[in-house]
Structure 1
């Protein structure tokens, strides 16, 4: 961000103490387990960058609190590499490095904070190559350990554990469509037309690199076709999140120069499942939620 833009959008540097004050004003509290999504550019000039944000979050939740982020794997092989020419596939299979908890970078599309948190001393990263998460704090292992290989957004996933343990979700200047927890709602929802992906990625098993098959909801292109129930040009997750806010779930406030949101994870899952099931079942011609 250049200096003219900075002066227009901020009333001064966004410091660690200011972030703590704003986060507490939003409702984040000591002992919280919180998954956070950040758009740094929306906050204004953050003095110290990701390090300052992580330290401010740690100050706010305290020694008994836990931070969590979604990582993914930036350099994972593409889902469709099995459609490549045979010699290309052979080269990839022979030499593509296995997912490594320590060295495989978080998806750059998730911003700078996931990579910064997963590198933080004491952070724990989940084992799933495509849908990995990372956490820092006393509950880190409980959230991350034994991440299911298949259905990694579903039951017993880090997202499921976040909701079960009374966790929260913070959108720190990030738009509503970044509410990753809604993928867990998609995984649980019983609605017509759910889409899945099957793909292969290399992992390490007993010290050896092996290619493993995985199955998950389609979190890239969408687990459902939302076009019948979402206005053209709008993102389904943003629509669900706004409906959730209208229904009285979640808090909105200012952190730095950015509009930010704080949600209860269990509310997000419950509302998301009900929204998906009721809207999509109705659009498919059903009169009530499937399975009831």
Structure 2
């Protein structure tokens, strides 16, 4: 009896099933709540193929989560300051007056990359309501994880990130460094007496029925929350024990997989010792 030959892997971008095999080696399993950071530029990975491979592997009881941040909705973020750089005082004021309010159903998240934007726009996706630090999700727990994300809680215990941590969520980072590790921010909320600051953003305001301008218009609002600082995240990541991570490849890109709880515990210990 002749044993049929195993077909060769076709050249070109990796397919869904090859990606699934690589993701399994990293530790992705059915039923997980998985937070994914991915920068696909130059990797040969297609966002749709990666999404489908992850959803197929996570299965009907798993949940795929991505950051859908809108940092440009701000007065002080680097993203916003870059947009108004070179404008005069009157031009800056006019630009800010025209800024649309955050709408979880429509506002894009271009700074998060093609993969996050694809997840956000996939039919059935949920998105949290935070005007600067929202998350988008697909899967069994998507709507519950994204619900009740208060403005005064960017990335704390009541945010989707906090819920993921409490519920045993995992992180998959593809082609990104630890400067993008959102999980470390949760540690900033757990530091005793964390430093606070004021934030500004444009939010939707309900108008009286019949008033011109449509059902919603924007208004600037200020709120206080923990002063988030990712300036030392790469250093925190370098100190993250290899024993708590799995490293590998997804397509042609480097990838790392770890527990959110392990990341937060490590970051909290590091910040307590090294931040002043």
Pairwise CA distance, 1:153: 1.2
Aligned length: 251
User: Structure 1: which 5+ residue stretches go unaligned?
Assistant: 1-10, 224-234, 285-292
Task: Find the aligned partners of 2:160 and 2:95 in 1 and give their Cα distance.
Answer: 33
Pairwise CA distance, 1:176: 2.3
Equivalent residues in 2 for 1:127-166, closer than 5 Å: 127-166=129-168
User: What SS class does the counterpart of residue 41 from structure 2 fall into?
Assistant: helix
- Name the Cα RMSD after superposition: 2.6
CA contact (8 A) 1:74 1:104 kept: no
Task: Find the aligned partners of 1:87 and 1:257 in 2 and give their Cα distance.
Answer: 45
Pairwise CA distance, 1:243: 1.5
Partner of 1:122: 124
Task: Find the aligned partners of 2:23 and 2:95 in 1 and give their Cα distance.
Answer: 49
Residue 239 (1) aligns with residue 235 (2)? yes
CA contact (8 A) 2:67 2:112 kept: yes
Q: TM-score, normalised by structure 2?
A: 0.81
Partner of 2:44: 45
Pairwise CA distance, 1:86: 6.2
Pairwise CA distance, 1:88: 4.7
Q: TM-score, normalised by structure 1?
A: 0.77
- Evaluate the alpha carbon distance shift between residue 272 and residue 152 of structure 1 in structure 2; reply closer, same or farther with a 3 A threshold: same
Residue 92 (1) aligns with residue 96 (2)? yes
User: What SS class does the counterpart of residue 254 from structure 1 fall into?
Assistant: strand
Task: Find the aligned partners of 1:157 and 1:260 in 2 and give their Cα distance.
Answer: 25
Q: Deviations over 1:93-118 (max 9, x none)?
A: 3x432211121111x23211111100
Pairwise CA distance, 1:157: 1.0
Partner of 2:183: 181
CA contact (8 A) 2:73 2:201 kept: no
Equivalent residue for 1:111, pick from 98, 110, 113: 113
- Evaluate the alpha carbon distance shift between residue 205 and residue 268 of structure 1 in structure 2; reply closer, same or farther with a 3 A threshold: farther
- Evaluate the alpha carbon distance shift between residue 137 and residue 204 of structure 1 in structure 2; reply closer, same or farther with a 3 A threshold: farther
Q: Deviations over 1:68-112 (max 9, x none)?
A: 11111265243388997367536633x432211121111x23211
Partner of 2:17: 17
